[in-house]
Structure 1
Amino acid sequence: MFDNTHAHITTWVIAIILFFVAVRLHNAGKAKGMKVVQMILRLFYLLIILTGALLFWKHQGINPALYGIKALVGIWVIGMLEMILVRMNKGKSTKMFWIQLIIALIIVLILGFQLPLGL
């Protein structure tokens, strides 16, 4: 089942879409809708971690250091997604978290495509 990355990529693409839907709902002042989307997004965080962990355990023998770094940066991305939404709800500044999200997302995508299971 985990000889390819289809399930993992599908979960993180859906999570990114849900993240931007939650941001749009917040900006539109629809707090209840945002809360529902945020709860669904948290489920997708777990699915991303689960599919990523299964891929990691199956393929870490190829290049364990880079797969480990990619896993840590992937957790960093998930943390930044959640921190942005939580701080938006509290009305606090999210600029630094957006910067970290962009940096971490670029790193994780570069590592993901560089590793043998990537392109």
Structure 2
Amino acid sequence: MDFLASTHLHITTWVLAIILFLVALAIANPKVVHMILRVDYILIIITGIALFIKGMDYGQGMLYGLKFIAGILVIGMMEMTLVKKKKEKPYTTFLVLAFVFFFIALFLGFKLPMGINFLA
């Protein structure tokens, strides 16, 4: 469980997801990239749950819960963006929401005690 509750593993999975998401948006037929991205979503959720459980030891369960919800919303908006793109429907709203929720999750993740403090 300690390996799954690694902040570095979680950051690696969501950086990979952002790269795959941008590649899937850029190419014409993102079927394979989209399937790989869905596997990455599962890894993000598993490592996120492990970090959430580990984060309960810090006494800030509500903030960790909000970060968890923001992370799930990011994944949902990314998936909706790609599905709308595949169906050739407007997807700008979902793309904007994905980035808004991403920055909320990013802010909370770096602010919480298990995050990386850039100012120290």
Please give the TM-score of this superposition, normalised by the length of structure 2: 0.90
Is the CA contact (8 Å cut-off) linking 2:67 and 2:108 kept in structure 1?
yes
Counterparts of 1:23-38 in structure 2 under 5 Å? 23-26=25-28, 31=29, 34-38=30-34
In structure 2, distance between residues paired with 1:98 and 1:22 = 13
Aligned residues: 113
How far apart, in 2, do the equivalents of 1:78 and 1:42 lie? 9
Corresponding residue number in structure 2 for 1:6:
8
1:73–1:107: 8 Å Cα contact kept in structure 2? yes
Higher share in helix: 1
**Once the two structures are aligned, what percentage of the paired residues are identical?**
50
2:86 alignment partner, one of 77, 84, 89: 89
2:52 equivalent to 1:50: no
Work out the CA distance in 1 between the residues paired with 2:88 and 2:63: 37
Task: Choose the corresponding residue for 2:37, options 35, 41, 47.
Answer: 41
Matched residue of 2:63: which SS?
A: helix
Q: Deviations over 1:73-97 (max 9, x none)?
A: 0000000110000000001001111
SS at match of 1:61: helix
Distance in 2 between residues matched to 1:117 and 1:58, nearest whole Å: 9
> Which letter maps to 1:23?
L
- Hey, what does 1:114 align to over in structure 2? 111
For the pair 1:75 / 2:72, whether they are aligned, the reply is yes
Q: Which segments of 5 or more consecutive residues in structure 1 lack a partner in the other structure?
A: none
SS in 2 for 1:91: coil
Report the 3-state secondary structure (helix = DSSP H, G, I; strand = E; otherwise coil) of the residue aligned with 1:117.
coil
Gapped runs of 5+ residues in structure 2? none
How does the TM-score come out when normalised to structure 1?
Answer: 0.90
- The question of whether the paired residues in 2 share the 8 Å contact of 1:4 and 1:117 is answered with no
